[in-house]
Structure 1
Amino acid sequence: MSASAARSAPPLAPGSRPVPGYEVLAHLTRTGWLDVYDAWSEERACRCAIKTVRPDRRGERRLGERLLREGRWLRDFTHPHLVRAYETVESPEPLVVLETLTGETLSHLLDRLRRRPAAADVALLGTQLCSAVHYLHRQGLLHLDLKPSNVVVDCGHAKVLDLSVARPPGPAPAGVGTRCYLAPEQARGGPLTAAADVWGIGITLFEAACGDRPFDRGGTGDEEPRDGEPRDGERAGEGGSGGPAGRYPQLERSAPAVGSRRRLPPALAAAVDRCLRTDPSSRPTVAGLAAALAEALPGPPRPASSRV
């Protein structure tokens, strides 16, 4: 099948069986390299989600490896604020079976709500993101793509999705992540630390509180996340505007204070602003951020050991 024909190939129809034991119920979404299906697991007698590489990109071995790597991590990890994978399948085509989540993505929720979330809800979301990120860091991974579309919320309970660009701390090429959400050091390339995920939490809370992003250059700002490898004739991190600084607005200016977009309790506003400092060393630790956000929640203070 040619690339153009594969690109226009319809998704699997309801009733299809991509592998034994799983039946497709519906096609959920198609991204730049993935198809995601609502499916039925005969073994578990429950619904699940199946992620597969798109037909037109199945020849790219690194994408299949990337999908299976994410699936193995999510299969082995167990955390209340992190999506869980049931299993990975390598043949005939790579796929990952995930739990079905109720609720909706934070990005969809923010678009649907007529009013912006209460400050206490923003703080609660932040503590839950800190908990998930703290767990990932203890497993030796940085998420590197925290944003509203990678968070599902159901009745105040948040779960983090998508470890497709996750990697251990250390050197990374420019552009790992999603353009308008990644930290300046992700845009620039170089050593990455836990501070990059603190930025990701902060920019997610900024959008949740204010309804828009601190950095946007038009469009949705939520394009396909990049893993830093060259694509479509580009060198990683460079675009038509002439290099990293032209491509990434967070390299051109500091984030505006959240208070310039919305009035929030001073402690909560200060916590979000500290996350979005340009210098990674000046951002709070995940534990420090969790403690600051917990103080913004109503009710008596909780012991430090329960904050992360």
Structure 2
Amino acid sequence: MSGTAVSGAPPLPPGTEPVPGYEILAGLARTGWQDVYDAWSAERDCRCVIKMVRSDRRGERRLGERLLREGRWLRDFTHPHLVRAYDVRAEPEPLVVLETLTGETLSHLLHRLRHRPSAADVALLGVQLCSAVHYLHGRGLLHLDMKPSNVVVERGLAKVLDLSVARPPGPAPAGVGTCCYLAPEQARGGRLTAAADVWGIGVTLFEAACGDLPFDCRTTGGATERPYAGDEPCTGTGTGDPDDWYPQLERTAPPAGSRRRLPPALAAAVDSCLRPDPPARPTVAGLAAALEAVLPVPRRGPRAGRFTPPGS
């Protein structure tokens, strides 16, 4: 199992059938409240991913409800840039079955590769993320945790994972999401709008283009990035601890062009996402249009090619 070990009851061993028709093959990840498994579906005759509440936390009803809510959304939603859920089970314990994605998370790709993606590939990645977020917003949800570890690149197509902290627009407690990717309004708490997801896309593109984050955050909760990994309930990886520090509340993001020479239109699009005032950021549609303008003419439009990281 990848990532830092988390204390508590051990994960299910290979060969276990958590419900009839599904067999655990191996552990994939463990978070503060979830276990994620590589599994086999007898009905579909294929591999799948199973998410369950950790056995030592199954007495916390809100965690099971949260998992089932995410699973039902992903089962009912259909979009080429969102991971799909096959099955949702409430008994004997809450369980969600997801499609297996054979690609790598964007965070793994960015850390593994020596060369950063081309400007055109960063723009195309952004167009795909905008497409997924636009779909979610049309169904009344904000993602609120857009980051490279929640994006899998599979055969050149980006797919967004993890709706575990998604919620409708409106008031939210401080720290929902992941520290370094939080919009200022997420960090401080308050009313959240589509602009919070625009910020998340912007930070993700900044990291993809420049090889680093615009802000270096520290929280007492910390964060371990893993595929399909959810964050701690209610406050994501932020803990609400007074020692948590959010630099995005104290200063503006550096211009993307100061970290890497980029086409002016791409740098301007990324910078526009990271404006502290939510109304000053572009709409999702406006951001997509600005990113499409960066692409070579033959690759523009909704069927305009695929994100291809260097070395792939």
Q: TM-score, normalised by structure 1?
A: 0.90
Provide Cα deviations, 1:35-89, integer angstroms capped at 9, x if missing partner. Answer: 1001111111111000001122111111111000000000000000000001111
Alignment of 1:174-253 (within 5 A): 174-217=174-217, 222-223=223-224, 225-228=231-234, 238-241=240-243, 247-253=245-251
Alignment-derived partner of residue 166 in structure 1: 166
Letter in 1 for 2:127: T
Contact 1:180/1:222 (<8 A) preserved:
no
Q: Secondary structure at the match of 1:40?
A: strand
Pick closer, same or farther for the CA change 1:163–1:106 going to 2, 3 Å: same
Distance in 1 between residues matched to 2:80 and 2:145, nearest whole Å: 19
Distance 2:37 2:136 in 1: 26
Higher RCO, Cα 8 Å, sep 6+: 2
| TM-superposed deviation, 1:221 | 6.4
In the alignment, does 2:62 pair up with 1:56?
A: no
Specify the alignment match of 1:149 in structure 2: 149
Q: Does the residue aligned with 2:65 lie in a helix, a strand or coil?
A: helix
SS state of the match for residue 182, structure 2?
coil
- Contact 1:107/1:148 (<8 A) preserved: yes
Asked if structure 2 preserves the Cα contact closer than 8 Å seen for 1:7 and 1:56, the reply is no
Question: Which ranges of structure 2 fall in alignment gaps of 5 or more residues?
Answer: 1-5, 225-229, 305-312
1:102-113, aligned counterparts within 5 Å? 102-113=102-113
The answer to whether the Cα contact below 8 Å between 1:174 and 1:187 also exists between their aligned partners in 2 is: yes
- What is the root-mean-square deviation in Å for CA atoms of aligned residues? 2.4
Structure 2 Cα separation of the partners of residues 275 and 29 of structure 1: 31
Q: Distance in 2 between matches of 1:303 and 1:207?
A: 24
Q: Is the 8 A contact 1:228 1:237 kept in 2?
A: no
Q: Partner residue of 1:77?
A: 77
Counterpart residue number, 2:310: none
Deviation for aligned residue 1:30: 0.7
Identity of aligned residues (%): 75
Residues in 2 aligned to 1:52 and 1:249: alpha-carbon distance in whole angstroms: 34
Judging changes above 3 Å, is the alpha-carbon distance between structure 1 residues 222 and 272 closer, same or farther for their aligned structure 2 residues? farther
1:272 aligns with 2:278: no
Flag structure 1 segments of 5+ consecutive residues without an equivalent. Answer: 1-5
SS at match of 2:240: coil
Conservation of the 8 A alpha-carbon contact between 1:176 and 1:225: no
Amino acid across the alignment from 1:87: D
2: CA distance, partners of 1:135 / 1:167: 14
Match of 2:91 in 1: 91
Cα gap change, 1:300 to 1:201, in 2 (>3 Å): same
Residue 238 of structure 1 and its aligned partner are, at CA, apart by: 3.4
Give the conservation status (yes or no) of the 8 Å contact 1:82–1:132.
yes
The question of whether the paired residues in 2 share the 8 Å contact of 1:53 and 1:95 is answered with yes
Deviations 1:261-299 (A, max 9, x none): 111100000000000000000000000000000011112
